[in-house]
């Protein structure tokens, strides 16, 4: 088995883990990120509502509210530097009943307690002027700072930039045991032994498992499943803002949000689960989402739904954000309890993790060679004819459309695989360049992307997977080479 030596081991390559890695790579520090999955992006980080929150409705005077409020303004520069799609579209919280309308002053007061001072009251008429589809609105609140981001590329872009600055990534790497010897952690994994001076636990759904390995057993984690519908961009919705329901004591309800790519999401459900791999969708969950969307936007037509997905949020007991270091386990940092707001909070959580590592003895000498920017893969679909022609002149593979629904070219798929960390399966390609995310959901490109992966990865077609081992697409050839069809 291999052996890896590093100063800082980050366990978990979701939004928080890669943000920590990128923060650390600003310094002359050896950093290694390990994740049990075969790609960066974690569980919750790749299957959420893609909203960058303001924290207007968070519980005041909590670590979560403080972190989210401070993190939101950082996204403009972060997404500009790393070429991540990001839109400040704003949100409208919609009251559809008298009881919900009466709750609006209390929600505005909470926003002010969280130092979010730009929330505005909307009359029914003004709400419908902003979004004509809100025909059932009695009143509402406008929250200008609520925004949308590509959550896949948020993680991938930070990981690529971290790798560009020397961070090493180990995927398909399950952490099995952690022992402390003198000033070093000796970590046993499925890929070999890892030795590190510091360990950052950003393992999300398995955060309790990792902490238990070093004797910290004062909390547990269970998954909360959220199911979503994806609506085709051709649907006659016209919604430009995030549409939020008035939350109840039991749930925040079903939201409807545009995406940075022109379609819409509706969801999520909130189902307490035991199985940490329960990613399946259910008929009951899908029906619940449609009912919730119909309350906000009565004209919503579910026939425009093109697919569904489910994500798992890590629910900590006791609850709340916990960013901790431990005198009895020096050098171990735990980042737990970070749930649906984790995408938003990740830049500030990373800076807090850096501060705790410094306090634990990590030397942080600035790296004069640090590269703060990353160039994204040009999206052929978003370019004009002149720009497209220039790309084809440079690389003829831009002239070969692989995914018709999203106008994704062979050149884009090749880059998605060849970057570090690169795509290793169909879902990895999908998350990076959207091949298979359109109306036909891979009906056209589903036979072509595996051939590109097979060629670039140097593996037989039978070993190309949808999402890691156990999800192989093909069993084998149906006839020998040269046989007649």
Neighbouring-strand partners of residue 27: 366
208: which residues sit within 8 A by CB, 6+ positions away? 219, 220, 221, 316, 336
Length of the chain measured in residues: 485
* 376 prior amide bond cis, ω within 30: no
Which of 296, 256, 257 lies closest to 136, judged by CA? 296
Backbone angles phi, psi at 117, to 5 degrees: -100, 5
Is there a contact between 204 and 44 (Cβ–Cβ < 8 Å)?
yes
Active site residues: 53
Backbone angles phi, psi at 219, to 5 degrees: -155, 160
**What is the dihedral sign for C-alpha 277, 283, 285, 289?**
positive
Backbone angles phi, psi at 293, to 5 degrees: -65, -35
Is there a contact between 177 and 187 (Cβ–Cβ < 8 Å)?
yes
Which of 167, 163, 54 lies closest to 114, judged by CA? 54
Neighbouring-strand partners of residue 87: 148
382: which residues sit within 8 A by CB, 6+ positions away? none
Cβ atoms within 10 Å, residue 480:
6
Give SS3 for 196.
strand
Burial (0-12, 13-18, 19+ Cβ within 10 Å), 401 = middle
Neighbouring-strand partners of residue 192: 2, 189
Give SS3 for 310.
strand
β-pairing verdict for 401-403 and 408-409:
antiparallel
Which of 259, 258, 252 lies closest to 224, judged by CA? 252
How far apart CA 83 and CA 259 sit, in angstroms, is 16
């Amino acid at each position: 088995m291999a052996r890896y030596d590093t100063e800082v081991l980050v366990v978990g390559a979701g939004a928080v883990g890669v943000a920590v890695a990128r923060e650390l790579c600003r310094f002359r520090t050896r950093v290694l990120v390990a994740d049990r999955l075969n790609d960066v992006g974690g569980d919750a980080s790749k299957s959420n509502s893609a909203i960058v929150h303001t924290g207007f409705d968070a519980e005041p005077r909590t670590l979560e509210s403080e972190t989210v409020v401070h993190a939101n303004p950082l996204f403009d520069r972060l997404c500009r530097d790393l070429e991540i799609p990001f839109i400040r579209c704003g949100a409208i919280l919609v009251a559809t009943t008298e009881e919900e309308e009466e709750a609006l002053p209390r929600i505005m007061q909470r926003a002010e307690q969280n130092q979010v001072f730009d929330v505005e009251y909307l009359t029914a008429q003004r709400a419908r002027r902003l979004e004509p589809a809100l025909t059932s609105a009695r009143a509402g609140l406008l929250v200008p700072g609520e925004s949308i981001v590509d959550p896949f590329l948020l993680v991938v872009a930070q990981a690529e930039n971290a790798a560009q600055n020397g961070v090493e990534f180990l995927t398909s790497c399950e952490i099995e045991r952690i022992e402390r010897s003198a000033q070093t952690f000796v970590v046993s994994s499925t890929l070999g032994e890892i030795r590190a001076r510091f360990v950052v636990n950003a393992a999300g759904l398995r955060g309790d498992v990792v902490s238990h390995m070093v004797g910290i057993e004062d909390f547990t984690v269970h998954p909360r499943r959220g199911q979503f519908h994806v609506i085709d961009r051709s649907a006659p919705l016209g919604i430009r803002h995030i549409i939020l329901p008035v939350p109840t004591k039991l749930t925040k309800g079903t939201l409807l949000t545009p995406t940075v790519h022109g379609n819409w999401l509706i969801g999520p459900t909130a189902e307490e689960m035991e199985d940490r791999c329960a990613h399946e969708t259910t008929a009951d969950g899908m029906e619940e989402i449609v009912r919730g969307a119909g309350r906000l936007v009565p004209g919503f037509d579910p026939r425009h739904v093109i697919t569904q997905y489910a994500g798992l949020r890590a629910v900590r007991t006791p609850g709340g954000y916990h960013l901790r270091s431990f005198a009895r386990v020096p050098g171990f940092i735990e980042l737990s309890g970070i749930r649906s707001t984790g995408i938003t909070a990740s830049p500030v959580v990373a800076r807090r993790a850096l501060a705790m590592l410094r306090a634990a003895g990590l030397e942080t000498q600035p790296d004069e060679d640090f590269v703060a920017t990353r160039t994204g893969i040009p999206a052929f679909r978003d370019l004009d004819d002149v720009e497209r022609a220039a790309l084809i002149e440079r690389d003829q593979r831009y002239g070969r459309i692989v995914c018709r629904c999203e106008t994704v070219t062979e050149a884009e798929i090749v880059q998605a695989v060849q970057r570090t960390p690169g795509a290793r399966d169909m879902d990895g390609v999908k998350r990076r360049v959207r091949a298979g995310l359109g109306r036909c959901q891979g009906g056209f490109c589903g036979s072509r992307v595996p051939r590109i992966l097979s060629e670039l990865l140097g593996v037989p077609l039978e070993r190309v997977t949808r999402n890691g081992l156990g999800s192989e697409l093909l069993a084998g050839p149906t006839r020998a080479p040269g046989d007649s069809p």
